[in-house]
Structure 1
Amino acid sequence: MNAFLIRRNTLSHEELGALLNADPASAANAILSAARTGSTQAQTLLGQILLNGQGITQDQELARQWFKIAIQNSDDPAAHNMLGRCLEHGWGGEQDHSAAAAHYRRAIAAGLDWAMYNYAGLLATGRGVPRDDCQAYALYLRAAEAGHAKSMNLVGRYHEEGITVPRNPALARKWYKRSAEAGDFRGQFSYAAVLAEDRQLEQAQHWLLEALRTGNLNFLRFGRASLSLADSTAVRAIALAYYARAAEIGDETDKQALEEHIAGQPQQINT
């Protein structure tokens, strides 16, 4: 049943995600079956789960091949975007920022917000394309207005820091709030920061804990260091949770960092 639905492209991304979360191995088998029978959606999704080893043995080189098959079969924008990511990060083969940019542009032409976000990242850093902060901002804004949560956070940063646009803290706060509410952990952290500056500490703590729930390891490492330096005692206290979560999913350096953080905390004296 699941393979049939995937083959007919009748499952939404949300339904596919739920299927993977509920039973990764069965979902992977269904996706593989549908991909072999020609479903472009399944071919692209198969590449994605091969990248991460979700319900299937990780094989990033094979993931690239499935993205290419999806592109050959139907010029799939999502496959262009994912192949671009492989080329940008060197997943499963050579790293080629210029080629990544070309694939992102193909996906952008079809209106894919993720491709706008990824291509804007290349423009903002000058990787594979000439650096162009104005064009990067325009793409982040376009994606944000289409509902892309990560782009909302970056639009907020451009306005907070005055990058290519006039500095506008109120507008930055608006975009951070939208990003936070849309579920981006970096947007949640950004919004918490401006709330903490306004001494709205209870709300700030709420969003910091939300960001902790879904943040990746690199984010947790940044967050723990930043929170340790916060002016508010209440906000600084949340740093421990970030250290602990990083130690749980990270490596020995993260466990050591947790131990050092705990050792550096003031000792309470019981009377």
Structure 2
Amino acid sequence: MFNRFQLKLIMLFFMLLDHIASFIPNTPLWFHYLGRLVAPTFFFLLIDGYFHTRNKYNYAKRLFVASGIMASGNILITTIFPSGITNGDVNIYLVGVMITAAVLLSTYIAYKAPSKNMFRIIFCGVIMLLAPIIFSIIFTDVRGVKNNIFLSMAFSIVLLNFIEIRDKENNNPLTSLSIMIILFLSLFTEGSILGPILTFIFYYFRDKKLSLVLFYSIFSLLFIGSDFSYNGLFIENIQWMMIFSIPFFFSYNGKKGSDLKYLFYAFYPIHIWILYIIGFFIKR
């Protein structure tokens, strides 16, 4: 049985291998297999943390701030080390710095947002979401760092906040609309459809283990599609392998463990940026 800290350490190791395979050429494909276990396990712990946190608003706010730092760092590093062909008519450095500054400003606004001002941090989250999209539209042939699971997690926590508000207010139309908007925005984050569906599964079936396993397994196996060949199962559509996260869900003993909650916030962006830069020079 593992506590929260131990489980996170295991997933951080799997994450490292997965991202090594993403950024460094000629690495084993099975590194990606282990990586399929990471996001579901972190979302499992995210929802568990939602039930235990003293301040759910600050929980979301902290994730949005982390997302802003990640987004600004991604754009800045992509600007300095652009993979691909840049648009010669547009100064990538000028645009990159301007967009980075806009994201940093939105991050500061989110950080300074007064207590319970959920719409302000959502607005900042939208800027964090749009910034890399705008950068990609301007520089269509530039490939850079796009990872930012923090934003997917932040929207998931906001989603749960609005769901609980809606339930208390007997389906207030404005709150229901807010939920739909958050769901829509989530689709454009790194987690895409995975984020909200995992959030719903882990939230609604938290105390119903059999239902959790059933719905999680069905969702995982949907990624197989119709291609049951070796190439389809083990090369093209490997997301179904997230089904093997289930033993880790049940190995969690519910205890916190070491109090190093900012380890993930620091390790996630730093190791991605380092691996991207290493890969950039290897591929040159």
Using structure 2 for the length normalisation, give the TM-score: 0.29
Name the larger-Rg structure.
1
